[in-house]
Structure 1
Amino acid sequence: MNKYAVFLRGVNVGGVKVLMKDLTRLLQEGGFSEVKTLLASGNVVLTSEISDPLIIQNRCNELLRQYYQREIPTLVFTEAEIEELAQPFALPLPEPATAHHGYLTLCHSARDAQELGQVIQDVAAPHSFLVTGRTVQWIASKGTSTTDPVAKVVQAQAKHRILTTRNHNTLVKVAKIFH
């Protein structure tokens, strides 16, 4: 069996309400097992016999489209990818570290992450960020995750590509669900 993390984009904000108990039931009825959710922001861990994450993503997107009668994009990451992302945050947090959060913008592809990194570099310099695989890692002061210059770039790019942002602590919690 293969384990995956599924991240829904834009749920429980802006009028898109997805209850985690409904999401769990929908995915179980859709053929997935060991479905567990974390927080109310659309973080799911599930198991499937399917070994291709893209097939899992397409299946989740279709189930959501049918049930909610609207597009709710997902991004699917393998257990190995999540384990890597849950390692200590790659960028040093500015002092005082307790006043900052590390964020990961999860992208559909490595190319999307590279292109997002280029836009961040062009628009939001001198902010520190790091492109790793299908993610862009960045830092914001607590309470500024939607108003930080990098966050604004990410929000603008979300209109053109499938991506979603999670606090690094969330990825650590998702990784723990696998065990």
Structure 2
Amino acid sequence: MSKYAVFLRGVNVGGVKVLMKDLALLLQDGGFSDVKTLLASGNVVLASDIPDPLIIQGRCNDLLRTYYQREIPTLVFTQKEIEDLAGPFGLPLPEPVEQHHGYLTLCHSAQDAQELGQAIQALDDPRGFLVTGRAVQWIASKGTSTTDPVAKLVQAQAKLRVLTTRNHNTLVRIAKILC
């Protein structure tokens, strides 16, 4: 049995309402086991006999499309990928540390993550970032997670490719659930 983290993109914003208890039941009824949700932003941990995360992703997308009658893209990461991403954050948080958050933009592919990193590097005010597999790590001051230049770039990129952003602390919590 393999364990996975499933991240829904764009739920509970812009009129897309997905209750986590409904999502858990939908995925359980869809054949997954040990389904647990975290927060109200589309974070799910589940287990399956299926060894391929892309098949898991396709199945989740199909279940969501059928139930909600609209596209709700997902990204599926293996337990190993989550453990790697939940380790120590790859960039030093500026002082005062408590005024900053580390974020990970999760991407469909390593190529998407590389291209996102290149786009960040091309900003007028380039920031530190780190590409780690299918994720890009970056930092924002508290309260600027939607207005920071990198955040705005990520929002624009989300119209071109499947990606979603989570706080590093969320990935740490998901890793603990996966263990």
* TM category, shorter: over 0.9
Q: Show structure 1 runs of 4+ deviating over 4 A.
A: none
Kindly report which structure 2 residues correspond to 1:8-23, keeping only aligned pairs within 5 A, or say none: 8-23=8-23
Q: 1:176 to 1:153 in 2, by over 3 A?
A: same
1:123, distance to aligned residue in structure 2 (A): 1.8
Kindly indicate whether the alpha-carbon contact (under 8 Å) linking 2:20 and 2:37 is maintained by their aligned counterparts in 1: yes
Q: Quote how far apart the aligned CAs of 1:178 are.
A: 1.1
The answer as to whether partners of 2:38 and 2:44 remain within 8 angstroms in 1 is: yes
Cα distance in 2, alignment partners of residues 108 and 80 from structure 1: 16
Deviations 1:33-89 (A, max 9, x none): 000000000000000000000000000000000000000000000000000000010
Unaligned runs of 5+ in 2: none
Say if 1:42 and 1:165 are closer, same or farther in 2 by CA, change over 3 A. same
Report the residue type matching 1:40 in the other structure. Answer: A
Identity, in percent, stands at 80
TM-score between both structures, scaled by the size of structure 1: 0.99
Cα RMSD after superposing both structures: 0.6
How far apart are the structure 1 equivalents of 2:32 and 2:124?
Answer: 40
Structure 2 residue 98 is matched with structure 1 residue 98: yes
For the Cα contact (< 8 Å) 2:104–2:165, is it kept in 1? yes
Q: Aligned with 2:166: secondary structure?
A: strand
Q: Which runs of 5+ in 1 are unaligned?
A: none
Q: Distance in 1 between matches of 2:77 and 2:108?
A: 9
Task: Give the C-alpha shift of residue 125 in structure 1.
Answer: 3.4
Q: Secondary structure at the match of 1:17?
A: coil
Counterpart secondary structure, 2:23: helix
Matched residue type, 2:120:
I
What residue identity is the alignment partner of 1:31?
Answer: G
Partner of residue 157, structure 1: 157
The corresponding residue for 1:118 is 118
Tell me what 2:69 maps to.
69
Q: 8 Å contact 2:146–2:152 — kept in the other structure?
A: yes
2:118 aligned with 1:129, yes or no? no
Q: Tell me if structure 2 keeps the 8 A contact 1:36–1:46.
A: yes
* Count, aligned residues: 179
Shift of 1:127: 0.9
Alpha-carbon separation, structure 2, partners of 1:126 and 1:107: 20
Cα distance in 1 between the residues matched to 2:5 and 2:90: 20
